[in-house]
Chain A
Amino acid sequence: MHIKVIKPGLATSVQDAGRNGYYHLGIPPSGALDQYSFRAANLLLGNAETAAVLECTLLGPQLQFNVACQIAICGATMQPRINGQPQPAHQVLSIATGDTLDFLPAAAGMRAYLAVSGGIDLAEVLGSRSTYALGSLGGYQGRRLQAGDMLTLGAAPSTAAPVGRSLPTALQRSLPSKTTVRVLPGLYAHRLRPESATRFYQEQWSVSSESDRTGYRLKGGTPLQFQPREAPFGAGADPSNIVDAGYPIGSIQVPAGKEPIILLRDAVSGGGYAMIATVISADLDVVAQLQPNQGITFAAVDMQQALQARQHYQADLQQLRQALG
């Protein structure tokens, strides 16, 4: 009654809605980076919306099911195959005991979410099953999956979702190869030279291969210049340094002005680099679906626009619940 990991894939980990209340101890929220797709996969199966899933990154895992169950895959386009036969994503699939599931590399998007009926069953750590690998916390032994790992399933939903039920196209997220992400300028943005503060929003950046669940590093734009200053005591000599402070999830820092870094849900909780803006909560999922070398442009919004976008995001989730409830 378990799922055996034959090949772990590039970076597959157990994730859910994440954990709150421990950021002040350096323990970040973690959780599925694309929360919309993670929830969609669970809702398709009739699971609790926040049941634990596998987050599969770029190259998915190969899994052998020693248990009959249902699965659904949402998020990045990573052609799933059961016993080598291509299967549709965004749809309830039936798995028989002995079946093997694998994926083709991501054709679009970065992260696919594999939900299983009943969810991945693991003990919660600090209120969540999400993996925080830097702290060896939560998930499966506090780390990404490895070959030979055995996953067990939770109790299946009382009413099984009909096999073949699918997510309406209108509720599937598009996965463009370049995108504009909305940010709220602020934090230490005043420390930038005005021409840098303007140019940051005019240029297209591209995602560096040094991008992971902790943060997305960007390249290709003009380096940013900070205003010259006399360093405050304890801040460090470089004008991009600050006295070490907390980092918001989604905040963008630019060490030495060179390569902006967007912090995601496995963020380092603080450090000594000036942050110049924060990705609004509604657009964090979008960032996490960008592949290396794909393009990203930033659009500055104000708080009111950020809150409107937040309402739209919640309305989309509500639609998802109604369509699949």
Chain B
Amino acid sequence: MSIRYTFGGDEFLFAEVSESMSLPACFTSMAITGQLRQLQIPGIMEICPANASFQLRFDPDILPAEQLLQQLQQLEQSLADSPQILDTRLVEIPVWYNDPWTREVGARFRQRHQDPQATDLEYAARVNGFASVEAFIAAHCGAPWFVSMVGFVAGLPFLYQMVERQQQLQVPKYLSPRTATPRQTIGHGGCFACIYSVEGAGGYQMFGITPAPIYDPAQSQPYLADSMVLFRPGDIVRFKPIQQQQYEEAIQAVADGSFQLDIFPVRFSLPEFLANPQAYQQSLPGTHHAH
């Protein structure tokens, strides 16, 4: 895999690892950007890994563009044979699928949807060949997701499901974006899930809502004490279905600051995962093992 480098004006270097999405491409992006972060090269201002690419913002007065490019190409070479292991964590995110808020907003913007007669979930189930919404939800929460990028707006994770390509859930975005999306909506566009970190515009299909704040400038939840943004690229997420009563209890806990997330340390091995995705993802830690 050879990376395509291209400059975005005089301050950005954009690196496309692969035109198509895959976990190995994402892993390469994270490996290089992770290494760059450790090197603390003077003149690099921003290091932004993305799904199958990354970009850097640099100050060309301190670090000339050509020099940066050479350093990156060397880094790419030197990392080619490095072990594809990631020390990360698994975060369980409770989701009320098919909740009234996203259903209401979805109904309001039906004219912007491919299928105005169906709900987002009904449409997604149908285009992915599922017999029912329940079966689609079972697939959605049945395997964990990899945070392959954080961005668009503050703290929004893009999530790529840890299953083989033919099992990937794919749903087109709305025909034209909505002007409203509830905060903490579980969205889906293309092969990516996302969690809307803030209320606002959005074009992804809406499947449910989580009571867990994932971005909070006031940092009022204990798990956001170190950073106002919960997710980092490389985090693993498992969606845990909940119902109305659990959702309301969680919202109450968020309000009084006692809400907790289940978070487990994980040493993720890309080769082991690729050798047997199904078995590997089931071996990951989580509260489901306690049941």
Contact = CB atoms under 8 A, between A and B. Distances in A.
Interface of A: 20-21, 23-27, 125, 132, 134-137, 142, 183-184, 186-187, 232-237, 241-246, 248-251, 268-272, 275, 278-282, 303, 306-307, 310, 314
Contacts of A282: 10
Given A135-B198, A236-B173, A246 B190 contact: no
Interface string B1-42: 000001111111010101111100000000001000000000
A314 B215 CA distance: 36
A232 to B, nearest CB: 4
B9 A137 contact: no
B196 to A, nearest CB: 11
Interface of B: 6-12, 14, 16, 18-22, 33, 45-55, 57, 60-61, 65, 149-156, 158, 160, 165, 172-173, 189-192, 197-198, 200, 215, 217, 228-229, 233
A245 B198 contact: no
A135 B153 contact: yes
B8 A278 contact: yes
A27 B154 contact: yes
Given A232-B20, A246-B54, A26 B155 contact: yes
B274 to A, nearest CB: 16
A307 B10 contact: yes
- Interface pairs A-B: 6 shortest CB-CB: A234-B21, A248-B8, A278-B9, A135-B154, A232-B20, A248-B12
A232 B60 CA distance: 33
Nearest to A134: B153
A137 B154 contact: yes
Contact of A281 (B11, B22, B54): B11
Given A26-B151, A134-B153, A281-B9, A243 B19 contact: yes
A25 B50 contact: no
Given A20-B57, A21-B46, A278-B7, 19 more contacts: A24-B47, A25-B150, A134-B153, A135-B153, A233-B191, A234-B21, A235-B20, A243-B51, A246-B53, A248-B55, A249-B9, A249-B12, A250-B9, A269-B152, A278-B12, A279-B9, A282-B10, A310-B60, A310-B61
Given A135-B198, A234-B52, A246 B14 contact: yes
